[in-house]
Structures are given as structure tokens and as C-alpha cells.
Amino acid sequence: MTVFILTRAQYAFLLLFTILFFRTTISQALSVSDLSDSTMMHHQSDRTSIYKRWVVPSVLVSYGVVSFAVPQLKQIDVSIRDEVLHEQFRRTWIDDYTQYAPAAVALTLNLCGYSGRNTFKEAFFIYGTSQLLAAAVVVPSKYLIGEQRPDGSNNLSFPSGHAATAFSSAHFMYKEYRDRNFWLSVSGYPFAAFTGIYRVINNKHWASDVVAGAGIGIISTELAYLLYPRFSSLFDGKDKKNSVTVMPFYQQNKAGVSLLRVF
């Protein structure tokens, strides 16, 4: 029996291929399935716009993955870590909370009547889906790649889960409010950047971990919005007295789905 053992770099490249393939397959399937002769040009334009939205997060994930194969990029990680330690920045635990801040603000505004693109229930479902998608990539990758953290505490450094959550949250806020208040919609990104920077300052992640995590978070939110129309019937069923609501959740490294049925 032959046993194939992949290196960390090979695992990382496999991760990148899986993310890009998954993203391309879903976006193509959802776009092509809705095409008709009368709307062909409109959907062609929509697909072009969709692919443009994948460029930045794909580049971010690619950078993190390629860093395993390019020594110069890993040296940049080491240099940044050494500079941070030399400056002796004050460490803080606040990044454990700022990762959720943009989504919390967006959902609170929605609940208080200042709604964005979706109702509160729809927005909550989309955000929960994005967190499940991010966790489905981040958690297995940490164990498969086994990159040691800068502080040597464990081998679960790549990619950064905090960065994935933070940028997923920030991108969720952007998607919800960009058409109503642009400056409000982008206000979540500073929180995401703060979270990523402090993962490095706290010596918990290499810079490439954070960059890749940011890309994964943005992609997860984009996928959640692409997938939502396929689940919209859960909220708009014809029988309002007998409805089913499915809410994905991710908390304390545990993911699942809750089911609520109203008779």
C-alpha cells in the first residue's frame, strides 16, 4: 500500500485550488441556471461584475498560499514579526471582539429600523451562512497545513480565523449598506484591519496568515449572498402559518444548523 504525504506547501496549494474551484463552480451554476434568451446580455454583464468581485480576495488567498513555496515571502513574515517584537507594542485581547463588530453594528441597525439590503432575518441567515463557509475552510486548513504560530503555542497558525471572521463581517456590512449609505458600509473595514494587525502584534499569526484569512472571509460572504436566493423560500413560503426557518451558527469552534418550525 502506497501512502502519499503532502507537504505544507502542497496542502496550501490544494486549499487554494479548492477555494477557487468551489467559488467558480457555484457562481457559474447560479448564473447559468437563470439565463434566458431575453436576459442573456443582462446576465453576461452580471457575471462580469461577479468575477471582478473575486479578484481582490483571490489575490489575498493566493499570497498566503504562495508564501509557503517562496522563501522570500516567508522571510517577510519573519521580518514583520521581528519588527513588531522590537517595537514592543502593547498587546490586547480586544481583537477577540472587534472581529464581530461590523456584523454586530449592521444587524443592530437593521433591528432598530435602519435596514440595509435585506430584512433582519434574511441578513442574519446570510451572515450565519458566511461564517459556516469560512469555518469550513479555516478549521480543516489549520489542521492539514499545521503551520506553527509565531509564539510557538501550537501548529494552527494558517490561515487566521480571526481575520477570516473580521473581513467576512466587514464585507457583510458593506454588502448590506453600500446602496443606502456608502460611508457607513465601508466603516467595518477599519475594524477588520485592526483585528488582523493585532493578530500579528499579539504574536499569534504571521502576516501571510492574516492576508489569507482576509481573502477567505470576503469570499465566504460573497458566496453566502450568491447562495441565499436558493434558500429564500425558507422566508417567503406561501403558508405563513406553517413555516420553517433554518439558521446556521458558528460559535467557539463549533458549527451547526438550528431548525425552527412554526405551526
Grid cell 479548492 in the structure block, residue? 18
Cell of 92: 490586547
Mean pLDDT value across residues 142-146: 92
DSSP assigned state of 91: P
Mean pLDDT value across residues 54-74: 88
Residues in the chain, overall count = 263
CA distance 200 to 187: 22
Mean pLDDT value across residues 87-111: 92
Is residue 46 predicted with pLDDT exceeding 90?
no
Is residue 237 predicted with pLDDT exceeding 80?
no
Mean pLDDT value across residues 166-172: 97
Q: Looking at residue 75, what is its pLDDT?
A: 93
CA distance 252 to 233: 30
CA distance 94 to 109: 22
Q: Looking at residue 44, what is its pLDDT?
A: 47
- Judged by average pLDDT, the poorest of 7-21, 162-176, 217-231 is 7-21
Residue 171's nearest CA partner among 153, 155, 192 is 192
Is residue 24 predicted with pLDDT exceeding 90?
no
Mean pLDDT value across residues 129-147: 94
Higher confidence at residue 202 or residue 46? 202
Confirm if 102 and 173 have CB atoms less than 8 A apart.
yes
Residue 79's SS3 state is helix
Extents of the domains making up the chain = 8-235+243-262
Q: Looking at residue 49, what is its pLDDT?
A: 60
At residue 36 the predicted structure's pLDDT band, cuts being 50, 70 and 90, is very low
- Decide: residue 210, CB within 10 A, 0-12 exposed, 13-18 middle, 19+ buried: buried
- Angle CA 256–209–52, to nearest 5: 80
At residue 23 the predicted structure's pLDDT band, cuts being 50, 70 and 90, is low
CA distance 170 to 188: 4
In DSSP terms, which residues pair with 243 in a beta bridge?
262
Confirm if 57 and 27 have CB atoms less than 8 A apart.
no
Mean pLDDT value across residues 84-113: 92
Is residue 124 predicted with pLDDT exceeding 90?
yes
Q: Looking at residue 41, what is its pLDDT?
A: 42
Mean pLDDT value across residues 82-96: 89
- Judged by average pLDDT, the poorest of 37-41, 116-120, 159-163, 182-186 is 37-41
Grid cell 504562495 in the structure block, residue? 66
Is residue 53 predicted with pLDDT exceeding 90?
no
Higher confidence at residue 33 or residue 14? 14
At residue 54 the predicted structure's pLDDT band, cuts being 50, 70 and 90, is confident
Q: Looking at residue 29, what is its pLDDT?
A: 47
What average pLDDT does the structure give for the chain? 79
Q: Looking at residue 26, what is its pLDDT?
A: 47
- Angle CA 90–94–97, to nearest 5: 165
Q: Looking at residue 230, what is its pLDDT?
A: 80
Mean pLDDT value across residues 233-248: 52
Q: Looking at residue 4, what is its pLDDT?
A: 39
